[in-house]
Structure 1
Amino acid sequence: MNVLRLQRFGGAGFLLGFAAGGFFDGILLHQILQWHHLLSGMGAPPFDDLRAQIVADGVFHALMYLIGAVGLWRLLRARAALATPEAGRELAGHALVGFGAWHMVDAILSHWLLGIHRIRMDVPNPLLWDLLWFALFGVLFIAAGLALLRRHSRVAPGLYAWAAPAAAVAVLAAALAAARAPEDAAVTVVMRPDVPATALLNQLREGERVVWRSASGDVWVLSGVGNAGWRLYGHGALLVSGTLLPAGCAAWTRT
């Protein structure tokens, strides 16, 4: 296998695994379990505001989209190398290393150096949860990846022929899931500052209700909307959680 091609090949697997690790973190911890948001540890204004938390999570996911896209591009450029017998094992190993590397970087940088969030913010001993997550999803995944990358692996290389399409599908599926809310989940809506509160209230349908709203009327939490929040973009919404339209975060940031 050409050395340069192998380098691009390995880099693609690492980036795809890294992006998958970020999506795993964002989907599971930010959205499903809601143990923390990206800036949950930043207690001072303006970072304690719900708008800032939403924007930060959106920017985080946008970064994972970018990293995943670069990984897919590099994989496409090195696609000729996928025909070699050891290709699947190499790609799977680098992807596992990338997945574990994300959790190590997140723990060291976000949890311990910057302190912008912890794995669990509502427990008396957050360090214990940090260490457990670091070991399970950081150390173990990197160890598994390095074991696959050993030249004399006892596992037949052909068993990993699925690695390239599986890595691409996993990142794309995670990216879509990160932007989609469960049907019964509450939906957060960020409105343009120049839109009156009645504009949103007039759009509520039967079964939809307001759970919470900010004093200024520009951030709302609604229940019963499910994945029908698309229509709110046409009535002054900059961001509707659970939709696949990323422009809302960018629009709010510009404002």
Structure 2
Amino acid sequence: MTRTSATYNLWSGLLFGLGMIAFIDEVLFHQLLHWHHFYDKSTTDVGLVSDGLFHAFSWFSTIASLFMLAGLRKNHSFWLKRWLGGVFLGAGVFQLYDGVVQHKLMRIHQIRYVENVAVYDWIWGIVAVSMIILGGFLILQTRRGSR
């Protein structure tokens, strides 16, 4: 395993994790549960447009990662454990960023508009940190190992 292919495995996983968790967020919390829009500081129409842009971003990230993955598979340099580490790390970092920066600092939306949002915030953060820890653990296991 070359250093370049190890890096590509990691980046492909990071982009896939970011795209996957953004897609899950968009479909579950925005579309199915109607808990919030990506941007809730304006009208519903603006919120829907922001959701569409967010959805497009998640798909661009996912598609880019899959092109990278196809190249890795073609060159027989795909490393599942490292890639999964990137997936969990990318998903966790995005979720932590969303929960801290977008929810609390920028206040462009909340997870859910209820009286006791702290419960949702804690669960959101714990899941994010758990994914980061799992991703970091998998990546560290592949630093000097072989496939």
Give 1:83-162 correspondences, 5 Å limit. 87-121=79-113, 123-136=114-127, 138-151=128-141
Count of aligned pairs between the two proteins: 142
Higher percent of residues as helix? 2
The CA distance in 1 between the partners of 2:62 and 2:16, in whole Å, is 5
The CA distance in 1 between the partners of 2:53 and 2:139, in whole Å, is 33
Give 1:166-185 correspondences, 5 Å limit. none
- Structure 2: runs of 5 or more not aligned: none
Identify which of 27, 45, 54 aligns with 1:60: 54
Aligned to 1:170: none
Give secondary structure in 1 for the equivalent of 2:141: coil
Q: CA deviation at 1:103?
A: 0.4
Aligned to 1:69: 63
The CA distance in 1 between the partners of 2:23 and 2:61, in whole Å, is 11
Instruction: Return the structure number with greater relative CO, CA threshold 8 A, min gap 6.
Output: 2
The CA distance in 2 between the partners of 1:5 and 1:149, in whole Å, is 14
Amino acid at match of 1:131: W
The CA distance in 1 between the partners of 2:61 and 2:80, in whole Å, is 21
Give TM-score, length-normalised by structure 1: 0.52
Runs of 4+ in 1 over 3 A off after TM superposition: none
- Structure 1: runs of 5 or more not aligned: 159-255
The CA distance in 1 between the partners of 2:138 and 2:27, in whole Å, is 27
2:68 matches 1:78: no
Aligned to 1:250: none
CA RMSD, 1 decimal: 1.8
Q: CA deviation at 1:25?
A: 0.6
Q: CA deviation at 1:129?
A: 1.3
Amino acid at match of 2:66: L
Aligned to 2:6: 6
Q: CA deviation at 1:26?
A: 0.7
Amino acid at match of 2:58: M
Rg (Cα) greater in structure: 1
2:22 matches 1:22: yes
Aligned to 1:38: 38
Q: Once the two structures are aligned, what percentage of the paired residues are identical? A: 28
